[in-house]
Amino acid sequence: MPSQHITEDPSRPEGMWVPLDLPGLHILSQELQANGTIRVEVIATSTQATCPSCHKPCVKIHDTRGRKKRDSALREHRVELILHKRRFSCLSCRKSFTEADSACGRRRRTTLRLREEIGKMACTQPVEHVARTSGMGSRFVRECFESVARAQIERTGGSLDDQQPLPTPRYLGIDEFARRKGHVYETIVCDLEARRVLEVWSGRKLEEVAALLERLSDPDAVQAVSMDMSASYRPAVHLCLPQAQIVVDHFHVIQHVMKGFKKVLSSWAHKKEGKALLEGKQHLFLKAKEALSEEQAQERTQIGESLPQLELAWILKEELRTWYATVCAATAAKELDAWVEKVQQQGPEPMRQTLSAFTNWRQEILAFFQFLPTRLSNGFVEGKNNRTKAIMRQGYGYRNRSHLRLRILLGKIA
């Protein structure tokens, strides 16, 4: 950019101008206005333009008109560009035309870099918040966000076309989250090895999940699918991915048994003999054995000696955790059957009620040990679901499903 001589002005505040950094534009003048806005008048550096009708170069200028544009702020100062756009008159076809605007684009009143800047802000902040801080309209901010998000997703090999085939991972993770609890649910599928979201799909019913899995480019390449004990996901996987082994996430199995144990703990906390002992101490039975300090472990043992039925329930709960942590594929089935029998014979009723899952999902629970030492888990998908819930809380819920989908697919990019 050619250097510009600025004459000394005693009324001008101390400071320095920075390069415009918009290729193809030349600064005519720049001024700091009373309201803090930096007003910059610019014009294209080229002396000719190509006629869009006959595609011949034109040099005859018909007239020049100023167009107000907004650019990225300079610190706290708003930057206003006055772009002097020239109309050329073609000597060959006798038609007039306006030169192209490379900085903003056709019929745009903001520079491309400002739109990218606002779009990146909206990737990590609610649209309304970005609109307030930037002084822009909500619709404009949403358009900027969508443009930036789509470009970033496509740059990393993703696709936003819900008809396009999906890349097929070796290990697939699938789970659901509620966009409107009790009414509207979404299904999320992830590549557990690459640790990235493949797609966010509307619905969780059998036919909806099957339509999603049918988009996988090579279904036979999927070796395992990690999931919770979902009644709709299992038949959909059997239908669309017959070669894949379903693996029930071990966290969900332990969580399922914990629900029964919490009922036992709560019942003893309300009984006369356990109320005083368990007041403020229930956390000692809910925490993992290895997470207790020596002092906490001693205190828990003393309470357990006074409440032997609660102690037995706690031991059964910890034995399941130990089973997951220590056994191998060769002995997993035998030790699981022994644990189930022990619960049936000695366990309290709430924990016996949880055993139906070990009958209905026995093969899928034991499949966890076929993929050691990988320890195939749905933890990455659960983490994405937690992040999604945080995004929805931050945005006070999302009515615009497509924008929520974009935010989830952005993943680590955002």
Predicted pLDDT at 1: 40
Q: Is residue 205 part of a domain?
A: yes
Predicted pLDDT at 388: 85
Predicted pLDDT at 202: 92
Q: Is residue 228 part of a domain?
A: yes
Instruction: State both tokens at 44.
Output: 């294209």
Predicted pLDDT at 13: 54
Instruction: State both tokens at 3.
Output: 């250097």
| 288/207 same-domain check | no
| 175/226 same-domain check | yes
| 340/256 same-domain check | yes
Q: Is residue 12 part of a domain?
A: no
| 231/258 same-domain check | no
In Å, what is the CA distance from 183 to each residue of 174, 204, 255, 410? 19, 11, 24, 25
Nearest to 195 by CA among 387, 370, 389: 387
* Alpha-carbon gap, residue 75 to 15, rounded angstroms: 12
Nearest to 153 by CA among 385, 358, 399, 406: 406
In Å, what is the CA distance from 23 to each residue of 15, 33, 90, 180? 24, 25, 25, 47
The ranges of the chain with pLDDT < 50 are: 1-8, 412-414
Question: Residue 227: which domain range?
Answer: 171-249+377-413
Q: Is residue 269 part of a domain?
A: yes
| 244/382 same-domain check | yes
Q: Is residue 163 part of a domain?
A: no
| 240/387 same-domain check | yes
Report how many domains make up the chain. 4
Predicted pLDDT at 365: 96
Angle at 251 between CA 287 and CA 187, to 5 degrees: 135
Using DSSP bridges, classify how beta strands 49-50 and 38-44 pair: parallel, antiparallel or unpaired: unpaired
In Å, what is the CA distance from 70 to each residue of 149, 321, 392? 22, 60, 31
Question: Which class for 69: exposed (0-12), middle (13-18), buried (19 or more C-beta within 10 A)?
Answer: buried
Question: Which class for 43: exposed (0-12), middle (13-18), buried (19 or more C-beta within 10 A)?
Answer: middle
pLDDT digits (tens, 9 = 90+) for 65-79: 999 999 998 888 899
- Identify the residue whose tokens are 């207790």: 292
Q: Is residue 394 part of a domain?
A: yes
Using DSSP bridges, classify how beta strands 171-180 and 184-191 pair: parallel, antiparallel or unpaired: antiparallel
Q: Is residue 278 part of a domain?
A: yes
| 84/220 same-domain check | no
Q: Is residue 372 part of a domain?
A: no
| 128/196 same-domain check | no
| 239/261 same-domain check | no
* Alpha-carbon gap, residue 85 to 43, rounded angstroms: 7
| 189/255 same-domain check | no
| 262/338 same-domain check | yes
Instruction: State both tokens at 75.
Output: 């610190």
Last residue of a domain, one of 94, 110, 126: 110
- Identify the residue whose tokens are 């403020």: 280
